[in-house]
Structure 1
Amino acid sequence: MQRRHQLLTLLVMVIWGFNFSAIKLAVTGINPLLMTALRFSFATLPLLVFIPRPAVSWRYLLGYGFSFGVGVWGMASWAMSMALDPGLTSMIEQLSVVFTTLAGLWLFRETLSRYQWLGITMAIVGVIVLVGLPDHPPALLGCLLLLISTLSWAVASCLVKRAAPANVFAFSLWGMAMAPLPLIGLTWLIFGGAPFVSLVTHPPLNSLLAVLFQAYPTTLFGYWVWNHMLVRYPLSVVSPLMLLVPIFGVLGGVWFYHEPFGCSAALGGALMLCGVVLVTIPLRWSWLRKISKATFNLS
């Protein structure tokens, strides 16, 4: 990746990491599915008047809206409403890297070096360490919802790659605009009318501010950059960068919610960070191998 694209993507990873704390705040006052519907409504509806629909099939827009809006963030927000901490959730969510990278291998015939495979393995082990923290037993239903969320990430990423839209921003906008109606329908079907009544009669200001943070810097800016990178670079190069998100997710959880960060959490985070290094810059390791070989020959 070009240096400016790396820096831009890093900024998005920071925003996405702190976004988990914003979600946690939002779901304390608003039903998680309804909150996600508000997020995508705020982000997309005002701009649809000015941004023409991209020249892609409706099935890609509908598929992206459902997989990304309902599958990824509807399920993740619902899981966080079940007492899952922001930092822990951001860590578990990184299993999407594995599914997305494997999807790139299967659907687009991308290749991975053995160092990248090692990095993916280390990242998975890091997630397992975090999920198995004795002080943070996650709810089973919450973990199942996060698994659906991570699988949906892979589906959404592949849809963007397959559609290859000329205008990535327009694709993101129109695709996300497909999400609010299914989310509202699911809210009514599962929780009834109580969440809607509560939102109107007792609107929570802090939760609504958190929704605005999710709508604009996180959604509009973040996914415009992300989808642009998905189209420009291979999935196996772009998707592992999401492993940086939990670093900032943990920092946000510690800062805003005083999440404990012990030795097990540090070990899991270190494994994931090492996995990022191995997956994203494998050539560095080939250089190290050459240096080590030269040093051995000299000795």
Structure 2
Amino acid sequence: MPCPPPCGPPWPHAASQCTASPPESHLAPRCPVAPPPGGLTAPTEAGVCSSSFGLSCQRPQTEGRRMHTKDKFLAALVILCWGLNFVAIKWGLEGIPPLLLGALRFVGVVFPAILLVPRPAMPWRWLLAYGGAISLGQFSFLFCAMKFGMPAGMASLVLQSQVVFTLLFAMIWLGERWQPHHWVALPLAGAGLYLIATHGEGNLTLLGFVLTLCAAACWGLGNVINRQIGLRYQTTLPSLIAWGGLVPILPFLALSWLFEGPELMASSLLNISWQGFLCVLYLSFVATWLGYGLWGRLLMRYPVAQVAPLSLLVPCVGMVAAALLLDEHPTPLQWLGSALVLLGFVVHLLGGRLRWFKPQTAA
């Protein structure tokens, strides 16, 4: 849906602190963020920083400001774009193999934008690491998962387990300490994922579920890499989207040639349908440039804690859209699991602001 990158979008931590999950984590002033479904980035307010791992940041100057009606409409538009993203992927996979679809997606993201924006001011090794995790790793696993039996609606929800992987990777490699509410949120989300995986009754394959978790793990790894980039370098949203999207194109094409075969690649390109072509355009321009652009605009106008909870609606829209447009019908236990996962995300998002999760201090 989202940070987060799309990653997902930012996740507030406390009244005067904030964190980001994203298909997108806010890092340093004017730094990139890994947001929901897409793993690309959105900018923060000047002087505001956050991360997926509970790092503190200064309070935005716009705190308490009411969101204008126009911006509420734009927020709803972003949520709709990201929720429908998974339906578009499913439709695109009907005529295009998953790895080739990944290559076409990023060709649309990169060109002609790469001709208009400068390369981010960072060494190539960091750009390669970021693009390899967020773009190549996340989307190769996600597209293959949805090709091999992962329903679109469930994919929109399970992919948000990137929050769990981000916390784990940050603890292992960055020495981040978990907050009390994290220990409550993660078992809730884990129990929900277990119900989703074990009670599909044929509408969800184990392979698809595992591949979606791998996609979420790549997104979480990308968040940690994004954190390091934000600490070391200054960059902008358009440059990171365009140049970060350049990294996976050749690997996607090579993997498609190796695993899907040159005959299928040629046949898919020569016989691409209007549905497939429009799906590629949607994934490249609507879900990426429009979605992350509008999300970044909201983050520049309003505090993170005000915008971030809206990202919880992305998997809700994804599941409803999949039910209406793809005739996907989760079992009752899968709905229960989905509710537990969302509850875990709510605790992760808002738990640091609740009194009973805060350490007590002597009077």
Taking structure 2 as the reference length, the TM-score comes to: 0.69
The residue aligned with 1:95 is: 161
Q: Which of 129, 135, 141 pairs up with 2:207?
A: 141
In 2, distance between residues paired with 1:160 and 1:181?
22
Q: Which of 264, 275, 286 pairs up with 2:344?
A: 275
Amino acid at match of 1:200: L
Q: Answer yes or no: is 1:59 the counterpart of 2:128.
A: no
Q: Answer yes or no: is 1:166 the counterpart of 2:235.
A: yes
Closer, same or farther: CA 278–147 of 1 in aligned 2, 3 Å: closer
The residue aligned with 1:264 is: 333
Instruction: Please give the residue correspondences for 1:63-212 in structure 2 after superposition, counting only pairs within 5 Å.
Output: 63-136=129-202, 138-164=204-230, 165-212=234-281
In 1, distance between residues paired with 2:136 and 2:280?
16
Closer, same or farther: CA 287–267 of 1 in aligned 2, 3 Å: same
Task: Report which structure shows greater RCO (CA 8 Å, sep ≥6).
Answer: 1
User: Secondary structure of the residue that 1:203 maps to in structure 2?
Assistant: coil
In 2, distance between residues paired with 1:197 and 1:134?
35
The residue aligned with 1:24 is: 90
Q: CA deviation at 1:204?
A: 1.3
Query: Contact (CA 8 Å) 1:240, 1:276: kept in 2 or not?
Result: no
Q: Answer yes or no: is 1:49 the counterpart of 2:115.
A: yes
Closer, same or farther: CA 187–83 of 1 in aligned 2, 3 Å: same
Q: CA deviation at 1:131?
A: 1.1
Amino acid at match of 1:38: L
The residue aligned with 1:215 is: 284
Deviation digits for residues 203-260 of structure 1, max 9, x if unmatched? 2110111111110121224456779999xxxxxxx99986543222211211111111
The residue aligned with 1:246 is: 315
Unaligned runs of 5+ in 2: 1-11, 13-62, 300-306, 359-363
Closer, same or farther: CA 182–85 of 1 in aligned 2, 3 Å: same
Unaligned runs of 5+ in 1: 231-237, 290-299
User: Secondary structure of the residue that 2:253 maps to in structure 1?
Assistant: helix
Q: CA deviation at 1:144?
A: 3.3
* % identical equivalent positions: 31
In 2, distance between residues paired with 1:204 and 1:58?
36
Deviation digits for residues 36-67 of structure 1, max 9, x if unmatched? 11011011120111100010111111112221
Deviation digits for residues 186-217 of structure 1, max 9, x if unmatched? 00011211222212331211011111111012
Closer, same or farther: CA 63–240 of 1 in aligned 2, 3 Å: farther
In 1, distance between residues paired with 2:168 and 2:175?
10
In 2, distance between residues paired with 1:94 and 1:288?
23
Query: Contact (CA 8 Å) 2:180, 2:357: kept in 1 or not?
Result: no
Amino acid at match of 1:201: L
Closer, same or farther: CA 150–25 of 1 in aligned 2, 3 Å: same
